[in-house]
Chain A
Amino acid sequence: MQPIVNVTGLTKQFNNLTAVQDLSFSVYEGDVYGFLGQNGAGKSTTIRMLLSLIRPGSGKIEIFGRDLQHYRNEILTQVGAVIEKPDVYKYLSAYENLKLFARLSGIRATDTRLMEQLEQVGLAGRAKDTVKTFSQGMKQRLGIAIALVHDPKLIILDEPTNGLDPQGIADIRNLILHLSRDLKKTVIVSSHLLSEIEQVATRVLIIDKGKKIVEGSAQELFDPSQTLVALQTLNHTGAWQKLQNSKWSENLQQQRGMVILLKLDRDQIPQFHRDLVAMDIELVSLEPRHSLEDYFLQVTSGNQHVDTYTD
């Protein structure tokens, strides 16, 4: 299947800071693509590059099979986005904002269409009110209405639940599911909140310090029959090499500092433990991880902790 978004070797540097480094990933039609990472991991920079707000230092972005650099305008007619805070013109009404951005998106939406769009995000009753009177959640919903008003194929939501109350977060989650399941849209959603992505994403990319940590289907990452196991040893480099040369090589996920991550069936764990002893790997700990949240923390902040520890 041809990917809708295909990113290859994307790199961006700001002075001495490498925000994104050699990042590659693909998003397919119908995906709800969860883009995960801690604050400062490079999510927003990547998303801004996807929207041509930031020029990549190197690498290539293809959307709908076309090079973003050369077909920017054609591509953006089919993309809707909410980037971080949903900032709109506060001195205009919700209706005026929506109409204005619809025209910028190249469509002349009828009043009925605009009101339907506001109705969809629950703002029809406040259509004529100026945005300065809106709560954060209402602004977020208006931002989503603006992203959807031109009926785009691809929707990019950067931290859409930021600053929202639990009800607002649930509304956004339901909206993403509605967009994907009912309207067959492709959605890229970034967040540092795993719990949010867990519930909506079909595929997931985790990045840390601008680098890809792991990419895969949510099913793979959440497979209940498998357990993610974090292994710590006294000699992690030697342990990694020994495991690579063993029957467990296919279970290896990655090595982050002193932690080695593996995916195992639960009933394989006792055998794995015995094999570690047989391979003379000096075990410090062997911890099963049960959720993506654990996995995420392990490969991102957990890594920072280990780095500090080894220093």
Chain B
Amino acid sequence: MWTLIQIELFKIFRRPRTYIAFAAITGLIGIIQFGLKLDGDSYVEFMMRDINSSITVEGKILNGYQVCYIVLQILLVHVPLLIALVAADMISGEANMGTLRLMLTKPISRTRFLLAKFLATVAYTLLLLIWLAVMALFVNMLIFGTDDLFLMKSQYVVLLKENDIFWRYVWAFGFAALAMTTVASLGFLFSLFAENSIGPIVATMSVIIFFTILSTLNIPIFNAIKPFLFTTHMIGWKEFFDIRVNEANEAIVGSIQNPDRILRSAIVLVVHIVGFVTAAIWMFRKKDILS
């Protein structure tokens, strides 16, 4: 199995298409960093315009942690497309090149073949998120320094102490990896049904957009299905930045407001991943290779 995964990773990272995602993340974060470095004060002023009269915040609001949060809010919506570019191409791309039939004449079971491809896709997804973490967290910490993190939620504000933030990002990126793996497994499943990657990429993104709209629509009839949509749970990483308060309304360092909700979201995502991959294996084992 390890040999198969190595081969798949070798193929993924020898394709120029693979690096589009890394370049896109680097470019997008670079633009945000450039803009905030030059005109960050205006951005902070705009962000604080509604509460400036009631709250006085001391210290450096626009620090590396703050910029990382801004980047994640913007980019984690778009990263699924970058994941789908590779995941949805894993089988369909091979069918399109004509290499699928050659691969499957080799003495490897279809289940192992598919699992190796999926695990390689997961490895790619993780590497992409690690790159995102490097660019969004570490580089921003270097450029903007570190300080407390000030977050404005819809009905309250959260202030996290500087020494209570880094671990939250580690977990948030871990959760994002789970969410992106769900996207990868969906793209992977769709890639079985086509002989070029455009269809599966579009289908994956369409499902995500459709489900995201359903998740955010506040219409009672859709509320019953929202908990079952993976898109509802993909933004669970934000929960790591909600903190509990004590009776004196002081933040409890090291706490998370709603760990159960995070766990529930993680379980829903894992169930989706297992479901998508199991369905893919089941169909692939029966599939006639006509490409």
Q: Are A51's CB and B7's CB within 8 A?
A: no
Chain B residue numbers with a CB within 8 Å of A100 are 7, 10-11
CB distance from B106 to the nearest CB of A (A): 4
User: A residues within 8 A CB of B101?
Assistant: 48, 53, 83, 87
Question: Closest Cβ of chain B: how far from A47's Cβ, in Å?
Answer: 10
Return the chain B residue nearest A105 by Cβ.
Answer: B106
A297 beta carbon closer than 8 Å to chain B: no
Are A79 and B97 in contact, with the CB atoms below 8 A?
no
Check A88 for interface membership: any CB of B closer than 8 A.
yes
Partner of B11, one of A14, A76, A89: A89
The size class of the interface chain B forms with chain A is 20 to 34
Asked if A87 meets B98 with Cβ closer than 8 Å, knowing A53-B105, A74-B107, the reply is: yes
Chain B residue at smallest Cβ distance from A108? B3
- Within the complex, what minimum Cβ distance (angstroms) separates A27 from chain B? 17
Q: Is the CB of A91 within 8 A of B7?
A: no
Q: Which residue of B11, B102, B107, B286 is within 8 Å of A77 (Cβ)?
A: B107
Contacting residues, chain B, for A88 (C-beta < 8 A): 99, 102
Q: How large is the interface on A (under 10, 10 to 19, 20 to 34, 35 or more residues)?
A: 20 to 34
Instruction: Please tell me if the beta carbons of B289 and A53 are within 8 angstroms of each other in the complex.
Output: yes
Contact indicator B288/A55 (Cβ below 8 Å): yes
- Taking CB atoms, residues of chain B closer than 8 Å to A75 are 107
Does chain B have a CB within 8 A of A54? yes
B14 at the interface (CB under 8 A from A): yes
User: Once the chains are docked, how many angstroms separate the CA of A103 from the CA of B9?
Assistant: 14
B107 touches A91 (CB 8 A): no
Instruction: For A305, list chain B residues within 8 Å (CB).
Output: none
Assess whether B290 is interfacial by the CB under 8 Å rule: yes
Q: Which residues of B contact A84 (CB under 8 A)?
A: 98
Q: Are B106 and A87 in contact, with the CB atoms below 8 A? A: no
In the bound complex, residues from chain A placing their C-beta under 8 Å from that of B59 are none
* Cα-based distance from A251 to B210 in the complex (angstroms): 70
Closest to A93 in B: B14
Binding site for A on B (CB under 8 A): 3-4, 7, 10-11, 14-16, 97-99, 101-109, 286, 288-290
Chain A residues with a Cβ under 8 A of chain B? 14, 48, 51-55, 72-77, 79, 81, 83-85, 87-92, 96, 100-101, 103-106, 143, 146
Can you name 28 A-B residue pairings with CB atoms under 8 Å? A14-B288, A48-B289, A48-B290, A52-B104, A53-B288, A53-B289, A54-B288, A55-B286, A55-B288, A74-B107, A76-B105, A76-B106, A76-B107, A77-B107, A81-B105, A83-B105, A84-B98, A87-B99, A89-B99, A91-B16, A96-B14, A100-B7, A100-B10, A100-B11, A101-B102, A103-B3, A104-B103, A104-B108
